[in-house]
Amino acid sequence: MDGNKFTYFCSGELKLSKLDRILLCSNFTDAFPSSIVTALPRENSDHCPVLLTTEVVEFGPPPFKLFNSWFQKDGFNETVTQAWLEFRGYGTPDSYLAAKLKHLKNEIKAWRRLDYPKELSDLKKFKDRLQELDLSAESRVLSDDEISERRNLFQKNLRRKKIMPKT
């Protein structure tokens, strides 16, 4: 198993456990002999998600998504309003609307490219500290301050995950 050493972390009692068995049929192992099991970092639970990888698959670029949380971010309303008003096009009404929406999508993507790296950097620091505390708990007993910090970081991560989607 790659990834985390343990797959369960009970923060209240500092219990650590590892999932050490995965049920597969022999046909699966014959078809995918190079399968890998990875314990991913914990984010929303006291259990690590476990990922079974059989092969690398590339699905192409992700589709455009619009998240409700963006409506509360600085600059979003101005970006949408400006993009909507500045568009100039021609053609049938349906092709005009499609072109206008495509223009709006491109402007929102440009706005996110400016805003997202800072958010991502802050989130990475935050998750790194949480992971650092988890790894420390695997090798030693955490102090009361570290347990409290980990609990607070975990709660903040739950709240932050609800308002900060990936793009």
Reported as a single tens digit per residue, the pLDDT across 22-77 is 788 888 878 887 788 887 777 777 777 888 888 756 667 767 788 888 888 888 99
Q: What is the pLDDT of residues 103-124, one digit of tens each?
A: 999 999 999 998 888 778 878 8
Residues 113 and 69 occupy one common structural domain: yes
The count of structural domains within the chain is: 2
In the predicted structure, residue 9 carries a pLDDT above the cut 80: no
- pTM for the predicted model, two decimal places: 0.44
| Same domain? 82 vs 13 | no
DSSP 47-112: B--EEEE-------SPPP---GGGGGSTTHHHHHHHHHHH----SSHHHHHHHHHHHHHHHHHHHH
Three-state DSSP at 126 gives helix
Residues 76-102: pLDDT tens digits?
999 999 999 999 988 899 889 989 999
Specify whether 140 is located in the same domain as 90.
yes
Residues 143 and 77 in one domain: yes
* Residue 78 and residue 98 in one domain: yes
Range of the domain at 127: 62-167
CA–CA separation, 157 and 147 (whole Å): 15
Do both 48 and 120 map to the same domain? no
Domain co-membership, 88 together with 154: yes
Euclidean distance between CA atoms 26 and 120, whole angstroms = 42
